[in-house]
Amino acid sequence: MFQFSSAVAAFAALVFFLCYCQWRRRCYKDPLFTEWPVLGMTPPLVYNLWRCHDQITEALQRQGGTGNFIGPRFTQMDSIMTCDPMNAHHIMSKNFANYGKGPAFRKIFDLFGDTLFTSDSDAWKRQRTFLHSLFVKSKRFEKLQEKIILRKVDSCLVPVLDHVVRHGADVDLQDVLSRFTFDVSCSLFLGSDPKSLAIDFPEIECETAFNKAEEFIFYRHIVPRRIEKLQRWLGIGLDKKIDEPFEAFDRFLRETIASRRAEISQEIETMKENDDYDMLTTLIMKGEEHVDDKQLRDNGFTFFIAGKGTITSALTWFFWLVATHPSVEAKILHEIKEENEVKNQVYLHAALCEAVRLYPPIPYVRRQAFKHDMLPSGHEVAPRNVIFLCLYAMGRSEEIWGKDFLEFKPERWISERGDIIHIPSYKFISFNAGPRTCLGKDISFIQMKMMATAILSNYQVHVVEDHPVSPTLSIVLLMKYGLKVRITKRG
């Protein structure tokens, strides 16, 4: 009798649990994946993690552009994912005040410190106003960047690629671009060149730390915080691997800041306003009363992530697309011969936009609601709900780009008059949208166009046959296996 009662009780508990799961499933509008008991939608996501960007894109297309992701029980990982441009416009512009980064975002991105990238409200406004006055209103940094890039092309990029051509060796173009952008970032922000791009491809510890940091932050998005803390306590997990190289770069930044402060305090009377000072020197001189060493370090780390990782990503996918589309390459080369001024290279600009559309350097934008809201798609947003704007999926939306959305077609960006067509930022959100639009958008395009021109006008890039091409699992959309190419000199 006891065994029968126990069996009935167990059966009743199972029925209750299954009914609860079904009820809970119905509480969410447009679930993205099949929900498992206790584990939520994590199993199908983890099973397809190797192609998660495409999997999420396909799921959003099935749900009309917006759906709910349900995380494991007690992990607070439930979220809304969307590639609907009207939702993006609502979140990033129309109801901007109700959506911010939030405390959970700052925990995930704590490596960045307290910066423009992680802050909200008044703290964000103060930093943006200060940085806008320095880097946007003044064209000095744009000119300084051009000077640094031209010098770097002549002294490092051309000698390295010439060496590769002479030896007929395959080279990882993504690694070349990563080293180039790291050196440029160091020169522009810190005023010193670590010379990571050299013929012998030296191992630079702090340069390596960036890719690991980006992978680590992506990992934090998909692993519950409690499991991450347990892994750290046990001395295992990705966060343990990042400690040493990250601390090396952190130390490098802090020592450089301290050294520069000491130099400026001794030479302040002889320093002239119009000198070509790096960003760190300018920040110290202009904001000496408002910017302490921690803020300088935090801004430095953010600048390197933004300047190195995103440009490396955009150019890597661009060169792969151009190398596999000879007709596009021919049009770019024709324009380069006709127009030396990069600002006037319309077709090259369009090709870069098209590469960034298909492979956005930052594939997801995360926001958290402060108050209750209703999205234009009809999805209800509760306070503290997390929303992911899926930029990778937006770039593959037929609604936005038409039936040929998967084609690499720079012409879609060019008007009949030959000008770049303005696409609203909430449809092409790779440089953010609304009040948080990227301050460095223009300067980034200049750098990308200068680098693309320098390489394409002198060399032809051939992708190594059967080289696997897939995105890495990181907050920055790099290639998992790099971009192995054979370089030949143009005649």
| Alpha-carbon distance values, 232 to 120, 238, 239 (Å) | 28, 9, 7
Neighbours of 111 (CB within 10 A): 20
Distance between CA 303 and CA 257 in Å, rounded?
14
Which residue type sits at 42?
A: T
How far is the C-alpha of 426 from the C-alpha of 424, rounded, in Å?
A: 5
Name the region of 120 (left: φ>0; alpha: ψ -120 to 50; beta: rest).
beta
Query: What is the CB neighbour count within 10 angstroms for residue 396?
Result: 21
Give 40's DSSP letter: B
Say how far apart CA 400 and CA 416 lie, in whole Å: 20
Cα 391 from Cα 395, distance rounded (Å): 6
Rg (CA), the chain: 24
The answer to whether the annotation marks 186 as part of a ligand binding site is no
> If 0-12 CB within 10 Å is exposed, 13-18 middle and 19+ buried, where does residue 148 land?
buried
The answer to whether residues 425 and 400 touch, using CB atoms and an 8 Å cutoff, is no
Helices and strands in the chain: count of H runs, count of E runs? 20, 10
d(CA 472, CA 206) in angstroms, rounded, equals: 20
Tokens describing residue 374? 């209703």
182: nearest Cα among 195, 191, 164: 195
- Could you count the other beta carbons within 10 Å of the beta carbon of residue 191? 18
Q: Give the β-pairing of 364-369 and 79-82.
A: unpaired
Query: Can you say which residues are annotated as belonging to the binding site for heme?
Result: 438
Query: Can you say which residues are annotated as belonging to the binding site?
Result: 438
